[in-house]
């Protein structure tokens, strides 16, 4: 859900504050509040934010399915602005919010039109207005056969399930599975619209002796602190994931190679200044720093495997350069065995 808060745009409530979850469309708002909503509707930032918003507010989905009476009159013009600004891309967001599946723009538009026809057919047969969620479920399950064994879950159960599936249990960042899935989605988006993005592979320097000498409990605490730093450092649209162990990965949409290196150099320096591990007086080893490898689509690869390999090799070069630094990808990759050997010694 979303709630209103002083500041810029709609703010999504943290999952831990479920008691505050409330749709602004289901509230009885005063005129100033409605005016504020009207001004802010088109300022939901990023595709993921828009999909999360649509998935929480059934009234908005019903509006775009033709049930315009489901939202206050004051909000209809902002909704139409959103429709005009997004164009046919809006169909992708609507279906992703309803099904959690990604469709191409052409597929999404065609499928949405078929669902709307089916919705009105169902409404006529049943003698009552059928909501778009019911129409989608019936059409995809019983007519097109695109979704098998499709079940509706209560919102709370779905949130818990997605949290379990997508997030790393220790750090709260996205996990390796979600990272791979989102990387493929980002590649599809950039290939279709001729856009760019950058991939960062990050490895903690000197973490192994820290973990071995001070114990896994303090090592886990440090990993959570590092994860929080990374999450707060990035934009809302960036993907921050724990790739495995003390390795992390960032996906930076709409970021070319030069912009990615500028961001990465600041990240390396600010991480060093943060002095992770300095509180451990008995710790005789160097403080934690980070080494980073940067790869950019399409310059360094056009497929996920190529970009991962390129970023991994750049990380290998950063380690060889003395750590606490960043390197951009090159075309020539060293043997994987050499990189694995290096990672076991840092």
Structural Rg of the chain based on CA atoms: 23
Q: How many angstroms separate the Cα of 128 from the Cα of each of 101, 115, 155, 156, 220?
A: 28, 17, 25, 28, 55
Question: Same domain, yes or no, for 193 and 132?
Answer: no
CA angle 238, 239, 244 (to 5 degrees): 150
Pairing mode of beta strands 289-297, 326-328: parallel
Q: What is the mean pLDDT of the chain?
A: 78
Report pLDDT digits (tens) over 246-266: 999 999 999 999 999 999 999
Q: What share of the chain is helix, strand, coil (3-state, %, to 5)?
A: 55, 10, 30
Q: What stretches of 291-346 show up as alpha helix (H) in DSSP? A: 304-320, 336-343
CA dihedral sign, ordered 72, 73, 79, 83 = positive
Question: Same domain, yes or no, for 188 and 301?
Answer: yes
From 160, 187, 216, the end of a domain falls on: 160
What DSSP state is assigned to residue 87?
Answer: T
Question: Same domain, yes or no, for 130 and 214?
Answer: no
Report pLDDT digits (tens) over 307-335: 999 999 999 999 999 999 999 998 544 44
Question: Same domain, yes or no, for 248 and 219?
Answer: yes
- Examine the pLDDT at 173 and tell me if it is beyond 90: yes
User: Which pTM does this prediction carry?
Assistant: 0.55
What is the predicted pLDDT for the residue at 292? 98
What is the predicted pLDDT for the residue at 280? 58
Question: Same domain, yes or no, for 184 and 322?
Answer: yes
- Examine the pLDDT at 20 and tell me if it is beyond 80: no
Report pLDDT digits (tens) over 35-53: 434 444 444 445 555 666 6
| Spatial contact of 53 and 20, defined as CB atoms under 8 Å apart | no
For residue 64, give its domain range: 2-160
Question: Same domain, yes or no, for 146 and 65?
Answer: yes
CATH number of the domain where residue 177 is located: 3.30.70.270
Mention every residue, 6+ apart, whose C-beta is less than 8 A from residue 169.
Answer: none
273: its two tokens: 């200044």
């Amino acid at each position: 859900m979303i709630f209103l808060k002083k500041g810029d745009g709609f703010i999504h409530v943290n999952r831990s504050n479920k008691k505050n979850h409330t749709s602004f469309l289901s509230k009885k708002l005063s005129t100033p509040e409605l005016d504020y909503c009207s001004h802010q509707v088109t300022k939901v930032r990023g595709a993921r934010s828009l999909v999360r918003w649509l998935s929480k507010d059934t009234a908005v989905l019903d509006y775009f399915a033709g049930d315009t009476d489901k939202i206050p009159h004051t909000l209809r013009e902002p909704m139409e602005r959103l429709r005009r600004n997004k164009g046919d891309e809006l169909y992708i967001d609507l279906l992703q919010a309803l099904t959690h599946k990604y469709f191409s723009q052409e597929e999404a538009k065609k499928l949405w039109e078929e669902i709307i026809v089916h919705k009105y057919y169902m409404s006529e047969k049943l003698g009552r207005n059928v909501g778009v969620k019911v129409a989608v479920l019936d059409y995809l399950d019983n007519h097109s056969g695109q979704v098998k064994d499709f079940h509706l879950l209560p919102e709370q159960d779905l949130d818990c399930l997605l949290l379990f599936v997508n997030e790393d249990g220790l750090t709260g960042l996205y996990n390796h599975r979600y990272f791979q899935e989102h990387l493929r989605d980002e590649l599809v988006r950039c290939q279709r619209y001729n856009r760019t993005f950058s991939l960062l592979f990050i490895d903690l320097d000197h973490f192994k002796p820290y973990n071995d000498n001070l114990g896994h409990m303090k090592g886990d605490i440090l990993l959570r602190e590092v994860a929080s730093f990374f999450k707060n450092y990035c934009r809302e649209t960036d993907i921050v994931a724990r790739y495995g162990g003390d390795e992390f990965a960032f996906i930076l949409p709409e970021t070319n190679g030069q912009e990615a290196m500028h961001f990465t150099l600041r990240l390396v320096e600010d991480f060093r200044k943060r002095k992770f591990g300095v509180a451990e007086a008995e710790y005789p080893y160097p403080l934690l720093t980070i080494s980073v490898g940067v790869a950019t689509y399409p310059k360094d690869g056009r497929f996920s495997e190529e970009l991962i390999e390129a970023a991994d090799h750049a990380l290998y070069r950063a380690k060889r350069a003395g750590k606490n630094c960043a390197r951009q990808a090159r075309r020539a990759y060293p043997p994987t065995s050499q990189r694995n050997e290096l990672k076991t010694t840092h």
